[in-house]
């Protein structure tokens, strides 16, 4: 191409690019936006809610950040986000700081998170107590025969410490104590499922939605995990998942619609699809 023609083409492309960027940003400025930040456990639910919202209302833009429950609470208190996802209740210091800043944080329970303890289907053990599970993860019980199984060394699987599922186990089963050094760590619920279903002497834990016929869920303290036992609180390894707002949101506002979405049928289907238990039963 001749030099002049080359510059004309480059200039035109550049102008189109700039125009596109400007148009995009202008278009975005007219949308109503909502910032949701917090737990990585509640994050997938918030993501799916955001998708459903943005599909139904085209002038709404919802951004979900997954930086951890602690970070989410801090962001809500500092005013950097509109809704905070937390997989736990607010700590005393967080709550008092919020009140000092001039608002009362309100918790909305959007789902229940139940963690099933799973083993390989060939494992004869069908039930364990939380005390036994704790002893296994601390390395005090090392062989399956000590709890009524076959003579095999126990292979322990856990999620890494940043996971919400790990936090549940850490609080409700491990009593906040350290796990043994020989515990193997996996990255996600599907990974855990994959490892336990292929290792005969394995024990691990997953969210209820990830239990299928390739693994066996154990009775913990005599209770089998299911939606009913988790919602009623009978199953010991269960916890509620929260979305927090500054004060109670005005009915009809975008925030109100977002934090009450779990009460609708679509919201419940989303929660079940993500492997959690909806708090209501339609």
Partner 1 sequence: MSQSPEDSDRRAAAASAGFDRPLLLTPREDLLGYVGSLTGRAGLFLIAASSVLAVFLIFVFIAREAFLFFIQGETPAEIAEFLWNRVCEVFGSTAWYPEQDPAEYGMLALIAGSFYVTFGSVLVAVPLGLLTAVCLSDIFPFTLRQVAKPVVELLAAIPSVAYGFFAVMLVKPWLQETFGIPSGANVLNASLILAVMAVPTIVSVSEDALTAVGRPLREASYALGATRAETMVRVVIPAAHNGIIAAVILGMMRAVGETMVVWMAAGNAKQIPHPWWDLTESVRTMTATIAQEGMDTARDSMHFHSLFTIGLILLVFTFVLNTLSEFLLGRMKFRGAKP
Positions in the binding site for partner 1 (CB under 8 A):
40, 66-68, 70-71, 152-153, 155, 160-163, 176, 178, 181-187, 191, 194-195, 198-202
- Minimum distance from residue 95 beta carbon to partner 1 (Å): 18
Nearer to partner 1, 56 or 178 (CB): 178
- Minimum distance from residue 188 beta carbon to partner 1 (Å): 11
Nearer to partner 1, 32 or 153 (CB): 153
- Minimum distance from residue 160 beta carbon to partner 1 (Å): 5
- Minimum distance from residue 33 beta carbon to partner 1 (Å): 23
- Minimum distance from residue 36 beta carbon to partner 1 (Å): 16
Nearer to partner 1, 186 or 271 (CB): 186
Contact 161, 185 (CB under 8 A): no
Nearer to partner 1, 181 or 252 (CB): 181
Nearer to partner 1, 40 or 229 (CB): 40
């Amino acid at each position: 191409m001749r030099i002049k023609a080359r510059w004309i083409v480059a200039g035109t492309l550049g102008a189109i690019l700039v125009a596109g960027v400007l148009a995009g940003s202008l278009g975005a400025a007219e949308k109503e936006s909502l910032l949701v930040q917090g737990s990585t456990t509640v994050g997938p639910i918030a993501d799916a809610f955001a998708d459903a919202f943005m599909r139904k209302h085209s002038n709404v833009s919802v951004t979900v950040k997954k930086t951890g429950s602690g970070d989410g609470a801090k962001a809500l208190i500092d005013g950097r986000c509109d809704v905070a996802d937390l997989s736990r209740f607010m700590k005393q210091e967080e709550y008092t700081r919020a009140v000092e800043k001039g608002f009362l944080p309100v918790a909305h329970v959007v789902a229940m998170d139940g963690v099933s303890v799973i083993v390989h289907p060939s494992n004869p053990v069908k039930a364990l107590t939380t005390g036994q599970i704790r002893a296994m993860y601390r390395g005090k019980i090392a062989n399956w025969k000590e709890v009524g199984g076959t003579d095999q060394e126990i292979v322990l699987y856990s999620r890494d410490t940043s996971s919400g599922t790990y936090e549940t186990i850490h609080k409700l089963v491990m009593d906040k104590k350290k796990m043994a050094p020989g515990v193997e760590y996996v990255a996600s619920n599907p990974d855990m499922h994959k490892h336990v279903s292929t290792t005969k002497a394995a024990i691990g834990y997953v969210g209820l939605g990830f239990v299928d016929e390739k693994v066996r869920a154990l009775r913990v303290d005599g209770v089998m995990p299911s939606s009913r036992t988790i919602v009623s609180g009978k199953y010991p390894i269960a916890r509620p998942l929260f979305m927090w707002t500054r004060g109670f949101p005005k009915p009809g506002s975008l925030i109100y619609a977002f934090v009450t979405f779990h009460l609708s049928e679509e919201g419940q289907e989303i929660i079940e699809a993500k492997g959690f238990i909806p708090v209501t039963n339609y």
